[in-house]
Chain A
Amino acid sequence: MSSQVHGAQKFDQAKRAETVFSEDAMKTVQTIISHYPPEKIKSALLPVLHLAQAEFGGWLSPETMDYVASILKIRPVEVFEVASFYTMYNLKPMGKCVLEVCQTSSCWLNGAEDIVKYIEKKLNIKVGETTKDGMFSLKVAECLGSCGTSPMLQCGASYHENLTYEKVDAILETYKTEGKLRSYTDLDYKNTL
């Protein structure tokens, strides 16, 4: 059954055995599952994948997807087809802080391209790459609903809006000092609306 989720990554049986949610995370999973009729728990897949991504290193490995499938009693390929469809799931390892700069119309009108170039130069990486120390990955994103406070970037759960070069400097400095993995499920989100 496990062989179905490979994708480009190799499936590691030993790693799969180690892939288990913490007790707290498992409680959250059970709460999410309780929101749906008992025979429809596949509905919990998207939120559980977010949790799994946060728990297991910021990306969804074949082992993680196989584990999630076993919890929701679905086939691994059903997890993979969802994980590969939605943009928020990473199918390869990423930096601890994934910087997603919105590039659609309103953000572009207010200088998003310059922000991207500035980050590229500062971190010495291109869009789609990760810094050598594994701290930052840079991505561009399509409209994140921050058009009135553009340009903006998202990192984990936090929205950083009305960006200037100085603000970008401060954000990167803070994240570097904290040095921790930033996930969409973080509770210490920042927002500036």
Chain B
Amino acid sequence: MGRKLLIHNDHIPNIHTLAVYRANGGYASVEKALKTMQPDQVTDEVKKSGLRGRGGAGFPTGMKWSFLAKPEGVPRYLVCNADESEPGTFKDRYLMEKIPHALIEGMITSSFALGAKTSYIYIRGEYFYVARIVEAAIAEAYAAGWLGKNILGTDFSHDCYVQVGGGAYICGEETALLESLEGKRGNPRIKPPFPAVAGLWGCPTVVNNVETIAAVVPIVNMGGEEYAKIGVGKSTGTKLISASGHINKPGVYEIELGITVEDFIYSDEYCGGIRNGKKLKAIVAGGSSVPILPAALAITTAKGEPRLMTYESLSDGGFLTGTMLGSGGFIAMDEDTSIVKNLFTFSRFYHHESCGQCSPCREGTGWMEKILQKFLNGTANESDVDLLWDIQSKIEGKTICPLGEAAAWPVAAAIRHFKHEFIEIAQKKKFVDISHYDRLNKLVKA
């Protein structure tokens, strides 16, 4: 069994309440930090831990914190990015719903390190009921004195609020999130200035993912060096993986970074293998935007080494033969899956979610969806594969925010590894649509 630091208590009844959470060691990191540490010492522990942003980009959290500008007399903010919308990702929802106090504890400890008197948890609007759960937990924390004025009798005072979004994937991009938090359309800002200098209402702001903030709790409790002993190389600690698709046991798993992809897919501790005895065809390892990998390259790298669930191993071979850990949204597809149709669902998604600010993304995502639609309705030609490749190459790197890349990469990877499927459909002029429902539920009715 791998070590668990974030959701190890998720099986305890009523762990969402303050009383039960506290009885199981909750809020110890707040006590330790506020009573025995200086803010910079907390940041140092996070640096030593090697923790990397768990939202998808994997940027070192301690470094992000150290960039925070600290001008006199200007408020600083911590904003939690709970706008979880990357297709295939549902770990933050699980964490907030099951153990909301883990996030709130992390918010207090992190805010102490950053000198933030106010913090906001921006939760995607569709998770309204999750926001209710987090709000209830915040109310409990206020009543018990973990939030509010002079926490634990120290000089540190802190307020934490929940803000719900309105339904827009783009608000997961940190500057779009800040715009949305200011009551505007979620259009990403041009950087620099980065939020660390000019973020929420122009003040220095740190934006971190839910899981990142929750991970600060064990880091402070056990010390950064201890935390860094878990994992492999620069992939330290544990990571929540959202597993879905054609696997026997979909769900949220906390893994020690460094287990093999094969183990994750086939062992009973995790996904439990592919459903209905089918063979694995491909995986998307880190949310919809990372390149898809065919089964062989998912299990073993191009060099022939076993592929590990780490930032480095998953990206081994670059985009030619590798992918990314991303948000940890792990989607497995069985042998009967159409890669073209799956890609179509991704491209439709990105077209729908493009904010419309930059032309390459606004127009390009729509063109890609339309061309993929041609494959599905039997009007595509072989030249459309080249056209698709051409369009994706003209989006990547030419937009304000990374949604452009996120839309381009899955298209590029699908063509790179599964070009024959596109060609076959174009030549036969026929797309065979299977019913996944009937196939999986075996409830075929006349």
Contact = CB atoms under 8 A, between A and B. Distances in A.
Q: Do A and B bind each other?
A: yes
Interface of A: 35, 37, 40, 42-47, 49-50, 72, 74, 78, 81-82, 85-89, 103-106, 108-111, 113-115, 141-151, 154, 157-159, 164-165, 184-185, 187, 189, 191, 193
Given A42-B183, A87-B167, A111 B333 contact: no
A86 B184 CA distance: 10
A43 B124 CA distance: 15
A85 B186 contact: yes
A35 B164 CA distance: 12
Contacts of A111: 435-441
Given A108-B436, A143-B87, A82 B166 contact: yes
A147 B97 CA distance: 16
B128 A184 contact: yes
B49 interface: no
A106 B88 contact: yes
B331 interface: yes
B425 interface: no
Contacts, number: 181
A86 B161 contact: no
Interface string B337-360: 100011001101100110100000
Contacts of B128: 50, 157, 184-185, 189
Contacts of B333: 109
A83 to B, nearest CB: 8
A49 B436 CA distance: 38
A164 B435 CA distance: 13
Given A88-B125, A109-B436, A184-B125, A143 B85 contact: yes
B246 interface: yes
Contact of A114 (B85, B124, B435): B435
26 contacts: A47-B163, A78-B184, A85-B166, A86-B168, A88-B126, A88-B166, A106-B245, A108-B341, A108-B345, A109-B246, A111-B435, A113-B436, A114-B437, A141-B126, A142-B349, A142-B353, A144-B126, A147-B89, A147-B329, A151-B437, A154-B126, A165-B443, A184-B126, A184-B128, A191-B97, A193-B93
Contacts of B182: 40, 42-43
A46 B165 contact: yes
A157 B123 CA distance: 14
CB-CB nearest 9 A-B residue pairs: A111-B437, A86-B166, A114-B437, A45-B183, A147-B244, A88-B167, A189-B129, A148-B250, A87-B167
Contact of A86 (B86, B165, B245, B438): B165
A114 B347 CA distance: 20
A130 B165 CA distance: 25
Given A147-B245, A157-B128, 15 more contacts: A35-B163, A42-B183, A46-B183, A104-B87, A105-B342, A105-B346, A106-B87, A109-B245, A111-B437, A141-B126, A142-B85, A145-B85, A164-B441, A165-B443, A193-B97
Given A105-B342, A110-B436, A145-B93, A158 B129 contact: yes
A37 B163 contact: no
Nearest to A88: B167
Contacts of B126: 88, 141, 144-145, 154, 184
Contacts of B329: 147
Given A86-B168, A143-B85, A148 B180 contact: no
Contact of B129 (A44, A109, A159, A165): A159
A184 B182 CA distance: 21
Given A37-B201, A82-B185, A148 B436 contact: no
